[in-house]
C-alpha cells in the first residue's frame, strides 16, 4: 500500500511532533497553571484510552515521529500505563522514534519502571524549587520529597531526566545556582521556561511573576562561560553549554517569535481538540470524527483539515507592561 502523504502545513512545515494531553486533572495546583478551585471535565468528555490509541496511531501513520504525553498530570489518569504499553508497537515498528512524557514527578516512584519497560527513554519533570516550603507554596499541594524520590526512581530505571523550571520572579530567582548545581550533580538536563499568560489563575499577578530569561541568562553568565549551541528541537527551546560543568541548559521563551518558522508540532487535548499553535485560540475538533466512524479515513481527513489551518505564528506580548495576547485556556488544557 502507498504511504499516505505526510502532514505539511500551508507554510511548508512538516508536522512530526504530537503532544497529547490525556487528562485535565492534576494532583497539584501550581500557581502559574491553575486556580485553587478548578472545575475539571466530566469523565465522559475525555477521549477513552482506545480513542487516544486510534488518534495517536493515525498521526503516526501520517508521519509523526515523536509523541509526548502530558496533561494535567498524565500519571494520575487511570490505567494510563495501558496506553504507554500500546504505543510500544509503534516504537518496535520504527514508525515512532520517541515516546516521552512531561510530568510533575509525583507518581514517578510508582511508574518509572513500567514506563521504561514500555519504551520511554526520557522524561521531563517539572521542578521549580528545591526548597520544601516554597515547593508546597508553588504547587499548593505537592510534596518535594515525593518528587525527589520520583527522580531517583526514574534514573534507577534508566530514564534520562530533564528538569523543567518555570522562572518566577520573587519566587525562585534566588535558586538559579542551586538548581544548576543540583542538575549537574545528578547528571540531569535542565531547561528554564518563561512564564506564559495562560488561563485564569486566581489572584496571582502575571507581571509580578515574570522573570525574563534574558536576565536569568545574564546572571548565569556572571559565573559560567556559556556557549550557544546550534541544536534546535523545532520548538521554542535554545540551548547553551556550560563550559565549566559540561552541562546543557535550555531556555524556552515562548513569547518570542524566533521559533515559529520551524514549528513542527501540534497539540491534542484530552477532549480531542487539536491546537496547531500554543499561542492562538484557534482549534478544531477531532473527537466527533473519531466517534463518527470506526473507519480512520474520516479522522485522517479531519487531521489534514486542521493542519491546513495551522497559523504562521502566535500573538503573545508582554511588552509595555501589559499581558497582551492572553490565552483564555489553562496550560493544563493543552499540556504545555
Q: Which residues bind ligand SAM (CB under 6 A)?
A: 26, 32-33, 70-71, 73, 102-104, 126, 164, 166, 193, 195-196, 198, 331-332, 335-336
Check residue 236 for interaction with ligand SF4 (CB under 6 A): no
Which grid coordinates belong to 283? 482549534
Q: Is 15 in the site for ligand SF4 (CB under 6 A)?
A: no
Measured distance CA(64)–CA(16) in Å, rounded: 4
Cβ proximity to ligand SF4: between 23 and 264 the closer is: 23
Ranges assigned E (strand) in 209-300: 226-229, 237-242, 248-252, 265-268, 273-275, 283-285
Among 57, 124, 126, 191, binds ligand SF4 (CB under 6 A): 126
Q: Where are the alpha helices (DSSP H) in 158-243?
A: 176-185, 206-209, 213-223
Indicate whether 25 belongs to the interface with ligand SF4 (CB under 6 A): no
Which DSSP symbol is given to 43?
A: G
Counting contacts by CB under 6 A, is residue 72 touching ligand SF4?
A: yes
C-alpha cell of residue 243: 563550559
Q: Which does 165 bind (CB under 5 to 8 A by kind): ligand SF4, ligand SAM, none?
A: none
CB-based closest residue to ligand SAM: 336
Q: Is 34 in the site for ligand SF4 (CB under 6 A)?
A: yes
CB of 72 to ligand SF4, least distance (A): 5
Nearer to ligand SAM, 176 or 196 (CB): 196
Q: Grid coordinates 473507519 are at which residue?
A: 295
Q: Which residue has the cell 524556552?
A: 252
Looking from the CA of 289 toward its CB, the CA atoms found within 13 Å total 20
Note whether 33 binds ligand SF4 by CB under 6 A: yes
Task: Identify what 164 binds: ligand SF4, ligand SAM, none; CB under 5 to 8 Å per kind.
Answer: ligand SAM
Please state the closest distance from residue 303 (CB atom) to ligand SAM, in A. 23
Question: E-strand spans in 80-204?
Answer: 98-103, 122-126, 160-167, 189-194
**Grid cell digits, residue 13:** 512545515
The string over 252-270, giving b where at least 16 C-beta atoms fall within 10 Å of a residue's C-beta and e elsewhere, is bbbbbbebbeebbbbbbbb
The answer to whether residue 318 forms part of the interface with ligand SF4 (CB under 6 A) is: no
Q: Which of 80, 332, 333, 334 binds ligand SF4 (CB under 6 A)?
A: 332
Q: Smallest distance, Å, CB 230 to ligand SAM? A: 24
Contact residues toward ligand SF4 (CB under 6 A) are 26, 28-30, 33-34, 71-73, 104, 126, 332
Amino acid at each position: 500500500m502507498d504511504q499516505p502523504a505526510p502532514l505539511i502545513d500551508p507554510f511548508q512545515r512538516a508536522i512530526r511532533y504530537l503532544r497529547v494531553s490525556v487528562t485535565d486533572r492534576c494532583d497539584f495546583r501550581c500557581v502559574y497553571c491553575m486556580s485553587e478551585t478548578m472545575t475539571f471535565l466530566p469523565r465522559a468528555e475525555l477521549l477513552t484510552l482506545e480513542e487516544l490509541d486510534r488518534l495517536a496511531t493515525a498521526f503516526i501513520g501520517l508521519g509523526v515521529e515523536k509523541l509526548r504525553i502530558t496533561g494535567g498530570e498524565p500519571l494520575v489518569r487511570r490505567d494510563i500505563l495501558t496506553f504507554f504499553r500500546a504505543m510500544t508497537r509503534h516504537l518496535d515498528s520504527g514508525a515512532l522514534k520517541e515516546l516521552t512524557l512531561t510530568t510533575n514527578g509525583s507518581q514517578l516512584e510508582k511508574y518509572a519502571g513500567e514506563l521504561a519497560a514500555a519504551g520511554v527513554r526520557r522524561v521531563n519533570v517539572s521542578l521549580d524549587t528545591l526548597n520544601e516550603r516554597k515547593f508546597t507554596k508553588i504547587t499548593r499541594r505537592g510534596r518535594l520529597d515525593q518528587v525527589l524520590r520520583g527522580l531517583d526512581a526514574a534514573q534507577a530505571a534508566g530514564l534520562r531526566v530533564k528538569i523543567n523550571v518555570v522562572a518566577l520572579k520573587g519566587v525562585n530567582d534566588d535558586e538559579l545556582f542551586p538548581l544548576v548545581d543540583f542538575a549537574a550533580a545528578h547528571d540531569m538536563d535542565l531547561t528554564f521556561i518563561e512564564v506564559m499568560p495562560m488561563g485564569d489563575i486566581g489572584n496571582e499577578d502575571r507581571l509580578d511573576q515574570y522573570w525574563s530569561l534574558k536576565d536569568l541568562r545574564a546572571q548565569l553568565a556572571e559565573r559560567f562561560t556559556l556557549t550557544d549551541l546550534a541544536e534546535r528541537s523545532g520548538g521554542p527551546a535554545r540551548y547553551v553549554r556550560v563550559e565549566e560543568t559540561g552541562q546543557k541548559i535550555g531556555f524556552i521563551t515562548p513569547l518570542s517569535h524566533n521559533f515559529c518558522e520551524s514549528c513542527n508540532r501540534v497539540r491534542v487535548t484530552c477532549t480531542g481538540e487539536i491546537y496547531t499553535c500554543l499561542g492562538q485560540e484557534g482549534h478544531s475538533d477531532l473527537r466527533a470524527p473519531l466517534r463518527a466512524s470506526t473507519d480512520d479515513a474520516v479522522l485522517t481527513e479531519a487531521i489534514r483539515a486542521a493542519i491546513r489551518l495551522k497559523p504562521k505564528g502566535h500573538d503573545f506580548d508582554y511588552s509595555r507592561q501589559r499581558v497582551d495576547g492572553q490565552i483564555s485556556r489553562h496550560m493544563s488544557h493543552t499540556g504545555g
